[in-house]
């Protein structure tokens, strides 16, 4: 799909569909010929309300799509992204090849330009790559973003930035939607290698032997029940000229399929456990975007990847493993495996010299009980890094919520036989999982993002297809780009 910024008068734009934003309770200038539709309530401007019209007086466009964008005082870049994404999905199957999206003078700013580009690409994506049915609607081939002649000169750069993030989001979603028989841990490593080679990133993939030599017993214990070998993916971006201090690590859980191991999950819904590597996919996609946007800070992406299976050699409840940090862990529940592989990944990031750590993981069902599917849960040991992360979430439109991490949660993980046990009681399960990880972050500034409720959509939304969402890729990228 071709994206382009065009400075022009709206009335003269020739296009299959011209998308015009309408705020709730207002009447857009230039649409006086539609007064009857406003009077009847057919056009209200409510968020994600669409009215498609043919041959609107005063416009050269074949069709005009009046896109409701909600109350004007709440219309931020996240709303623009969602509206554009929904508009693209609304237009599918309507014989539309060329679309133009209008940003009026009061909306023509860099954040909205980037949001339009990102929204177009997010809305165009579908999870049907493996379907053999070729009878699909012709895709939208080009999108022009129409702004006034006097609009700021930096909008082209912003549009390009949004396109890069949107493309990376779809790379992440393409990886996360793959079936587990296709996307094994080594296949995930190959996807990362392809991204690295294309984007000029350095990459190192630690195999089972190297991890054993290093002492990554926590990760290897999870992997031992599967016939598929594990890997530790390490992608590195080094700026040509560092303009910001520190070394940022982005760490993503990469369990390509999670049966729960010996502590096996119920059969109902287990097929979705292919998305247990969504955090890792987001790291790979983020590294692609970062390589193209070139922030001034060094960034290392780390993805520990395993398959958690109940084979004859599988880890048992009661096993004790020794992590890379030297801490010993009693495994009481083999379905609490994500924290085990992240423990070794966090320690390895510190050994590589990373000074700030952010991990993302589909870690606990407990976070879904607490926050539903609206917000990701955020835990931290460092207020400054937490504030940076929350700002990145606001900028990207990815909703986050600060969760508690008091020392009291660690009490549940005290163990008679080892330094830690891998679960506490059923109460506060997302918090005890975070407390477990905190023990490996130590004094290094660290943020943990539990995306179990936000990385996957069980049902399609007007603005997004069913399946992986790409969360928290956009926040990863924003954090790196605004690093100081």
Low-confidence ranges of the chain (pLDDT < 50): none
What separation in angstroms does the CA of 30 have from each of 20, 27, 47? Answer: 10, 9, 20
Does residue 60 form part of some domain? yes
Domain boundary among 85, 119, 147: 147
Does residue 162 form part of some domain? no
Which residues lie closer than 8 Å to 68 by C-beta, 6 or more apart?
22, 24, 43, 44, 45, 46, 47, 48, 49, 50, 83
Rounded CA-CA distance 480/482 in Å is 6
Does residue 349 form part of some domain? yes
Same domain membership, residue 251 and residue 111: no
Same domain membership, residue 256 and residue 135: no
Same domain membership, residue 74 and residue 10: yes
Same domain membership, residue 175 and residue 80: no
Closest by Cα among 81, 76, 80, 54 to 65: 54
Does residue 438 form part of some domain? yes
Rounded CA-CA distance 471/415 in Å is 34
Pairing of strands 98-102, 17-22: parallel
* CATH number of the domain bearing residue 371: 3.40.630.10
Closest by Cα among 121, 169, 175 to 145: 121
Buried/exposed 81-92: b ≥16 CB within 10 Å, e otherwise: bbbbbbbbbbbe
Residue 240, φ and ψ in degrees, nearest 5: -60, -35
Does residue 157 form part of some domain? no
Domain count for the chain: 2
For tokens 């009077």, the residue is: 39
Rounded CA-CA distance 80/419 in Å is 49
pLDDT of residue 157: 97
Rounded CA-CA distance 236/298 in Å is 8
Same domain membership, residue 98 and residue 236: no
Same domain membership, residue 195 and residue 142: no
Q: Kindly report, residue by residue over 196-207, the tens digit of the pLDDT.
A: 999 999 999 999
Same domain membership, residue 222 and residue 133: no
Does residue 154 form part of some domain? no
Catalytic residues: 265, 339
Overall pTM surpassing 0.95 (yes/no): yes
Same domain membership, residue 430 and residue 328: yes
Same domain membership, residue 341 and residue 304: yes
* CATH number of the domain bearing residue 40: 3.40.220.10
Same domain membership, residue 69 and residue 32: yes
What does DSSP assign to residue 334?
T
Domain boundary among 147, 176, 193: 147
Q: Which domain holds residue 220?
A: 167-481
Residue 137, φ and ψ in degrees, nearest 5: -60, 145
pLDDT of residue 63: 98
Does residue 123 form part of some domain? yes
Same domain membership, residue 296 and residue 408: yes
Domain boundary among 114, 147, 180: 147
Q: Is the dihedral of CA 96, 97, 98, 103 positive or negative?
A: positive
Closest by Cα among 315, 318, 285 to 299: 285
Q: How far apart are the first and last CA of the chain?
A: 34
Same domain membership, residue 194 and residue 108: no
Determine the Cα angle at 122 with ends 116 and 123, to 5°.
Answer: 85
Pairing of strands 446-450, 356-361: parallel
Q: What is the DSSP string of 57-123?
A: TT--SSEEEEEE---GGG--HHHHHHHHHHHHHHHTTS---EEEEE--TTT-SHHHHHHHHHHHHHH
């Amino acid at each position: 799909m071709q994206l382009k910024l065009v400075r022009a008068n709206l009335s003269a734009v020739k296009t299959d569909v011209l998308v015009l934003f309408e705020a709730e309770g207002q009447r857009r200038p230039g649409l006086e010929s539609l007064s009857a539709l406003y009077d009847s309530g057919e056009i209200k401007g409510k968020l994600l309300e669409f009215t498609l019209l043919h041959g609107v007086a005063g416009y050269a466009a074949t069709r005009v799509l009046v896109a409701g964008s909600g109350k004007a005082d709440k219309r931020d870049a996240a709303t623009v992204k969602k509206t554009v994404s929904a508009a693209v999905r609304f237009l599918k199957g309507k014989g539309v090849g060329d679309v133009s999206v209008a940003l009026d003078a009061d909306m023509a700013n860099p954040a909205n330009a980037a949001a339009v580009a990102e929204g177009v690409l997010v809305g165009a994506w579908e999870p049907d790559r493996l379907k053999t049915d070729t009878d699909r609607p012709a895709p939208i081939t080009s999108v022009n973003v129409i702004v006034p002649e006097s609009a700021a000169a930096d909008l082209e750069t912003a549009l390009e930035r949004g396109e890069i993030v949107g493309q990376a989001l779809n790379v992440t979603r393409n990886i996360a939607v793959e079936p587990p028989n296709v996307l094994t841990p080594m296949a995930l490593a190959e996807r990362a290698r392809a991204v690295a080679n294309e984007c000029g990133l350095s990459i190192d993939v630690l195999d089972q032997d190297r991890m054993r030599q290093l002492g990554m017993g926590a990760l290897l214990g999870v992997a031992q029940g599967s016939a598929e070998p594990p890997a530790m993916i390490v992608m590195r971006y080094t700026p040509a000229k560092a303009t910001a201090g520190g070394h940022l690590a982005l760490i993503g859980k990469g369990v390509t399929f999670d049966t729960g191991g010996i502590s096996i999950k119920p059969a109902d819904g287990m097929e979705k456990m292919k998305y247990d590597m969504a955090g890792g996919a987001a790291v790979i996609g983020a590294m692609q975007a970062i390589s193209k946007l070139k922030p001034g800070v060094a960034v290392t992406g780390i993805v520990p990847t395993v398959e958690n299976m109940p084979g004859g050699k599988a880890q048992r409840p009661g096993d004790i493993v020794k992590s890379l940090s030297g801490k010993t862990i009693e495994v009481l529940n083999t379905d609490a495996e994500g924290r085990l592989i992240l423990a070794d990944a966090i320690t390895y990031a510190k050994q590589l010299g990373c000074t700030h750590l952010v991990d993302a993981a589909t870690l606990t069902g407990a976070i879904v009980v607490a926050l539903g599917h609206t917000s990701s849960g955020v835990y931290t040991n460092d207020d400054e890094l937490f504030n940076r992360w929350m700002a990145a979430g606001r900028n990207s439109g990815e909703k986050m919520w600060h969760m508690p991490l008091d020392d009291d949660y660690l009490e549940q993980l005290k163990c008679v036989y080892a330094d830690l046990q891998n679960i506490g009681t059923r109460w506060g399960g997302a918090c005890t999982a975070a407390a477990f990880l905190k023990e490996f972050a130590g004094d290094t500034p660290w943020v943990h993002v539990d995306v179990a409720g936000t990385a996957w959509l069980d049902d399609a939304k007007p603005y997004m297809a069913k399946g992986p969402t790409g969360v928290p890729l956009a926040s990863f990228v924003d954090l790196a780009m605004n690093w100081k």
